[in-house]
A = this chain, B = another copy of it.
Amino acid sequence: MPELSYALDTLFALFAMTLIIFMVPGFAMLEAGLVRSKNVAAVLTVNTMIYAVASMFFLLVGYSLAFGSWENDTMSKWAAFLFQMAFVGKTVNIMSGGVSERVRIVPLMLFTVVMAALIYPIAVNLTWGANFLKGTALDISAMHDLAGSTVIHSTGAWALLAAILIIGPRKGRYTPNGTIRVFPASNIPLVVLGAMLLWIGWFGFNGGSVGSISSKESADAVALTIMNTNTAGLAGAIVVALVEYIRYKKFDITMILNGALGGLVAVTAGADIFDIYTPILIGAIGGLIVVFGVPFFDKLRIDDPVGALSVHLLNGVWGTLAVGIFADVSFFAQLKGVLVIGIFAFISSYVVLYAINKFVVFRIDAESETEGLDINECGLESYPEFTRTI
């Protein structure tokens, strides 16, 4: 029944794609909740425009670059495209979140164009795509990275690291006398809503990456992948909650959610090939990485308002390597993949960001940063009717 299987796989890809698109409001709400209320509309605008610009340039340029051809026998080629298109914005979302509260929108959009049309497609080309380095020393197609612990999460987070190095921390965050000033999240319900939408989106992200559901094996693989994905998220949340409670007798929900997201990133590389208990360990370590990663970057004065480096970079690396440890996959292949993509993503992002920064400076001027990006970049306030506390 090839026709029905084609139809079923098309529906499956569309279902998975739709879940991933829920990550657009997911990232938007998460970040809108985490930043100060004077920067909320800016963060929301950035998230909206990343989806628009990245998807458009992936359609016009990136997809062909990544995969060489649009042809597809097993499902509608449009569904296959949509599924891949749903990924591309995420790399920039990861990056934009970490530089929020101080970055102008226009240069960010210029970088989005380059990321969606070039950098990300090249990373995909090398791993899931046409592989123009096939057979060379840099061929990394042996890396098992189901849904992008490295290809998506690390790529986006390497770009973020490059961006933070160029743009610097938020004004007033690191005082001259060495203390770190706290800018609490302005809206916790939005943080939770956003994280949960991301979590749900992950089912589509990882499950859909199996690529087919129309045979018994593939159906099992999809369901196992989603189950393992979820399990790692659970473990990440639980471990962070335990650590926080032991330390402070309190449950910091923003860290717990970051722990869940860390677990989800970590399991993304190998969710399809682990047994059902391994993700508990992988997610738990993913959570721990977040707990220790966030203050670690702060100590280095690398200012990342949403914790994206710990969630996406450290856990992207951890998750990819974990496949080489816990599954029947060469650790060396995994490490090589991490390094090649890492070096490529960091250097190319740094160069592009540096070049853009020469023409259209990323950093907003100090007075506008104090006043808030909403008024200065978006021309409005996010909560104009609510009195802001002191």
A207 to B49, CA, bound (A): 24
**Chain B residues positioned under 8 Å from A254 (CB to CB):** 380
CB pair B276–A59 under 8 Å, yes or no, is yes
Within 8 A of B (CB), among A1-42: 1, 3-8, 10-15, 17-19, 21-22, 24-25, 28-29, 32-33, 36-37, 40-41
Within 8 A of B (CB), among A214-257: 214-216, 218-220, 222-224, 226-227, 230-231, 233-235, 237-238, 241, 245, 248, 250-254, 256-257
Considering the complex, give the chain B residue whose CB is closest to the CB of A24.
B196
Q: Which of B48, B52, B213, B235 is close to A10, meaning CB atoms less than 8 Å apart?
A: B213
CB pair B8–A7 under 8 Å, yes or no, is yes
CB pair A223–B78 under 8 Å, yes or no, is yes
Q: Does A190 make an interface contact (CB < 8 A)?
A: yes
**Chain B residues positioned under 8 Å from A389 (CB to CB):** 384-388
CB pair A207–B250 under 8 Å, yes or no, is no
Q: Does A94 make an interface contact (CB < 8 A)?
A: no
Within 8 A of B (CB), among A28-69: 28-29, 32-33, 36-37, 40-41, 44-45, 47-49, 51-53, 55-56, 59
Chain B: minimal CB distance from A25 (Å): 4
A257 to B106, CA, bound (A): 17
Chain B: minimal CB distance from A219 (Å): 4
**Chain B residues positioned under 8 Å from A85 (CB to CB):** 230
Which are the 4 A-B pairs with shortest beta-carbon distances?
A: A78-B223, A76-B223, A250-B379, A79-B223
